[in-house]
Amino acid sequence: MTIHSSTRRLAPYLFVVCVLACRSATIANIEVDGADRVTVEEGTVLEEVLGELGFEGFAQMNVVASEELQNQDVQPGDISSVQLVSFELEAEEPANGDLSFFETFAVYVEAPGLEPVLVADAMEFPEGEPVVSFDVYDVDLTDYVVSESMTLSTDIVAGRPTEETVVKASYLLDVGVTLQGAKNRACN
């Protein structure tokens, strides 16, 4: 028996082992983004905003039903990992608005049956800066994304702006998909 014939006989078994190993491994990534806006009413210097800011679009999120994943025919079982890549706030209105009325701003992910977990925060909101990028934590969000519903909630300490301010919050997720998800993606 030669080495060549042994390799040929082992090839089908090696292929099966490789396919089984790859089924659970991430082999493709799809970016999913989202945004929501909220209007923060003007107020006096002594007024404070504590707790939740009220981004309604972040309540009951269904990332699996997002256009990016639906276009690739990715199912919940095809998702092997989910990471928050970025989170930022932007003062869209007024034109010269900034976010300096915030003192601290923390973002948590929540889902039924799972503990809330901190995923991003910002502790500095410089005067005159309309956009603030948050520190993002290395948290695997897979269980939250494939749950029946996921929510991004906020915990803030802030004053009120001197003018009514429209604040846009944006996020970017990196969704890892398995061999089946990649196959679905390639066939579309």
Q: Considering the chain, what is the average pLDDT of its residues? A: 76
- Indicate which CATH number applies to the domain containing 56: 2.60.120
pLDDT at 83: 92
pLDDT in tens, 66-98: 556 666 666 777 888 889 999 999 999 999 999
More confident residue, 74 or 29: 29
Rg of the chain over Cα atoms, rounded to whole angstroms, equals 22
Q: What is the DSSP letter of 100?
A: T
Closest CA to 51 of 121, 120, 105: 105
Q: Specify if 10 maps to a domain.
A: no
DSSP H helices in 113-172: 142-145
Q: Specify if 170 maps to a domain.
A: yes
Q: Is the pLDDT of residue 7 over 70?
A: no
Gap between the Cα atoms of 177 and 68, Å rounded: 12
Tokens at 149, concatenated: 């519903």
More confident residue, 163 or 46: 163
Q: Specify if 43 maps to a domain.
A: yes
Q: Specify if 146 maps to a domain.
A: yes
Gap between the Cα atoms of 154 and 89, Å rounded: 12
The count of structural domains within the chain is 1
Instruction: State the virtual CA torsion across 15, 143, 35, 132 in degrees, nearest 10.
Output: -100
Q: Specify if 66 maps to a domain.
A: yes
Q: Specify if 6 maps to a domain.
A: no
Q: What is the pTM of this model?
A: 0.74
Q: Specify if 40 maps to a domain.
A: yes
Q: How confident is the model at residue 17 (pLDDT cuts 50, 70, 90)?
A: very low
Range of 136's domain? 26-187
